[in-house]
Amino acid sequence: MTKEIIAFQGEKGAYSHLACEETFPNATIKTCATFEETFKMAFENENLKIMVPIENSLAGRVADIHHLLTKYKLQIYSEHFQKVEHNLLANVGTELKDIKYVRSHAQAIDQCQKIINKHKFKTIISADTAGSAKDLSLSKDNSVAAIASKLSAKIYNLKILKANIEDDMSNVTRFLIMGKKVNQPEYKKDKKFITSCIFRLKSIPAALYKCLGGFATNQVNLTKLESFSVKNTFDQTNFYLDIAGHIEDQAVQKALEELGFHTESLDILGVYEAAPFRQKK
């Protein structure tokens, strides 16, 4: 049996890496420098999957991902909701009183303001959380701490000065597991599914209103609808849509038929089982 390969953007120890380990515990893990490289790797190798963050419950959608969805048109196999737990990491032998600076990704810094303000840490913005931990482990500087995952502490042999330092404990990132092969699950009425697509409207009055009417008429729930500009123009807009239901459900089919009538383009990104996390909400 061939071992699964899954890639993500960032350094080892990133929250994307943590999501990979929770979802594919026995897979071979590959790191990529950019999201573009991650998508390209999956586009060129149909046996490889990628773990891509698409939105965070606090920070909103992840920049660049929507444009890469339209560029590479990979298929969504499944989704995963990863709880984000920030930790204050330092080199072994360091105490909290030694820390004067804290470094991490801008979002992680923003999400841990209580501890930063309490101890009057000066902040250093870095490209990502795991990269901050890696750089810290190489510097051996006891005046600097990093905000990153517990996995980063393990990988880079760092000490956890304080665990779960995030201001909001409900911080969750939604990931999409994607690849080049079409992998549509069989429709079963007792299971919950998500159908995701990207569409571009025809340039006519009330086009969005008209294309969404089919979902209301057929009583199909939309779990997400968001717009993003077509690259290099302010004149056209694409829409990303998550539908609660399977594409083989008759109601979903009718709603999509009506959507298609009012669009210039309609690309189905995937049909997949709704993650158990959605049932907890």
Dmax (CA) for the chain in angstroms is 66
Please count the other Cβ atoms lying within 10 Å of the Cβ belonging to residue 60.
Answer: 10
Q: What distance in Å separates the CA atoms of residue 205 and residue 250, rounded to the nearest whole number?
A: 28
Q: What are the b/e assignments for 63-90, b being 16+ CB within 10 Å?
A: eebbbbbbebebbbbbbbbbbbebbbbb
Q: What distance in Å separates the CA atoms of residue 49 and residue 29, rounded to the nearest whole number?
A: 10
What sign results for the dihedral spanned by CA atoms 140, 142, 148, 152? positive
Q: What are the b/e assignments for 120-129, b being 16+ CB within 10 Å?
A: ebebeebebb
Residue 54 has which token pair? 């698409």
- Structural contact between residues 160 and 117, judged by C-beta atoms closer than 8 angstroms: no
Q: What distance in Å separates the CA atoms of residue 30 and residue 23, rounded to the nearest whole number?
A: 14
Q: What distance in Å separates the CA atoms of residue 1 and residue 216, rounded to the nearest whole number?
A: 46
Query: Active-site residue numbers?
Result: 173, 175
Residue 80, amino acid: H
Residue 150 has which token pair? 């517990």
Residue 263 has which token pair? 């669009």
Q: What distance in Å separates the CA atoms of residue 41 and residue 245, rounded to the nearest whole number?
A: 30
